Amino acid sequence: MALTGASGAPYGIRLLEALVAAKRRVSLIVSTHGLRLLRTETDIEDLAGLRLRIGAAAFDEFVTTFDDADRGATPASGSAPGSGMVICPCSMGTIAALAAGTSRSLVERAADVALKERRPLVLVPRETPLSAIHLENMLRVTRAGAVVLPAAPGFYHRPETIDQLVDFVVARVLDHLHVDHALVPRWGATEP
């Protein structure tokens, strides 16, 4: 899992919370711009603050962090086991790098590995409006095998809080990763 510099840090935090709650092992990469967004949008200053937000014991048990500048880290190798990758939030710069096949960071290299190894790759952009270049890049990564899942919450579950809007998007990401959850009610159901 990676967090990049696109607005939407609460989505990434909630996704990490949900994966840890589901007892899933997570290789976490946070770009420098992702760290800046964590500070700006959530007052989480650094990875230590993120660890405390998730819960230190659970974070220590299920999360391994990697430096985005270390392109030789485990997630950069196709021979390393992995069940897929999510970039949430995902910047348009990251999508552009993936669309062009030019990885400059560990986030981009790990995503490139997911594509080449035919592992699930879910990209969660939060950008509006979208330029023709953005749309073309999203089409290219989709054709390469990624799922582009915009951070666009639904309203049929009648959300009353921002957390419920965030949970809607995170639930869709978890569905694509085949992770069971009860974050939001299913269509037509009265309970999550």
Owning domain of residue 137:
2-176
The single-letter DSSP state of residue 168 is H
82 band by pLDDT with thresholds 50, 70 and 90: confident
Residue 68 lies in a domain: yes
- Asked whether residue 123 is domain-assigned, the answer is yes
Residue 71 and residue 105 in contact, taking contact as beta carbons nearer than 8 Å: yes
Is residue 29 over pLDDT 60?
yes
Contact between 6 and 125 (Cβ < 8 Å): yes
**Can you give the pLDDT at residue 156?**
86
Residue 55 lies in a domain: yes
Position 159 in a domain? yes
In a domain, 182, yes or no: no
The identity of residue 159, as a single letter, is P
Count how many domains the chain has. 1
Examine residue 186 and state whether it is found in any structural domain, yes or no. no
Q: What are the C-alpha distances in Å from 174 to residues 71, 158, 178?
A: 27, 20, 6
- Tens digits of per-residue pLDDT, 116-175? 999 999 999 999 999 999 999 999 999 999 999 999 999 988 999 999 999 999 999 999
* Token pair of 77 as six digits: 């190798």
pLDDT at 192: 53
Q: CA 148, CA 109: separation in Å to the nearest integer?
A: 17
pLDDT at residue 191 tops 70: no
% the chain with pLDDT above 70? 98
187 inside domain: no
Give the chain's mean pLDDT: 94
Tell me the average pLDDT across 65-89.
93
**Residue 80 falls within a domain, yes or no?**
yes
What contacts 61, CB < 8 A, 6 or more positions away?
A: none
Residue 134 belongs to domain with CATH number: 3.40.50.1950
